[in-house]
Amino acid sequence: MTRSGVSGWRLLLALALWGVIASAVVAATALVARLLVPGWAAHHRPDVSSILLAAIYMALLAALLQAFGGTAGLRDRLCFRFTSVLDLAGALGVWLSALVVGGAATQVLAPLLGQPRSNAESLLRQSFDPLFVALVVPTVCLLAPLGEELLFRGALFGWLRRRLPAPPAILLTAAVFAAAHLLPPLFPLLFVFGLGAGWVRERTGSTLNSLAMHVAQNTFAVALTYVVLGH
- For residue 35, the enclosing domain spans 8-230
Task: Classify residue 142: in a domain, yes or no.
Answer: yes
pTM: 0.94
Q: Could you tell me if 225 and 121 are in contact, meaning their C-beta atoms sit under 8 angstroms apart?
A: yes
Task: Classify residue 113: in a domain, yes or no.
Answer: yes
Task: Classify residue 3: in a domain, yes or no.
Answer: no
Question: Which of 9, 20, 11 shows the shortest CA–CA distance to 153?
Answer: 11
Instruction: Please compute the mean of the pLDDT values over residues 205-225 and round it to a whole number.
Output: 97
The per-residue pLDDT for 5 is 67
Residue 206 and residue 202: Cα distance in Å, rounded?
A: 8
Number of domains in the chain: 1
Task: Classify residue 14: in a domain, yes or no.
Answer: yes
Residue 218 and residue 145: Cα distance in Å, rounded?
A: 8
Task: Classify residue 174: in a domain, yes or no.
Answer: yes
Residue 185 and residue 204: Cα distance in Å, rounded?
A: 30
Instruction: For residue 211, give Cα distances in angstroms to 27, 45, 142, 151.
Output: 30, 30, 9, 11
* Mean pLDDT, the chain, integer: 94
Q: Is the pLDDT of residue 3 over 80?
A: no
pLDDT in tens, 57-67: 999 999 999 99
The per-residue pLDDT for 23 is 96
Residue 115 and residue 218: Cα distance in Å, rounded?
A: 20
For 179-210, b where at least 16 C-beta lie within 10 A, e where not — what string? eeeebebbbbbbbbbbbbbbbbbbbbbbbbbb
Q: Is the pLDDT of residue 1 over 50?
A: no
Task: Classify residue 30: in a domain, yes or no.
Answer: yes
pLDDT in tens, 22-42: 999 999 988 988 888 888 888
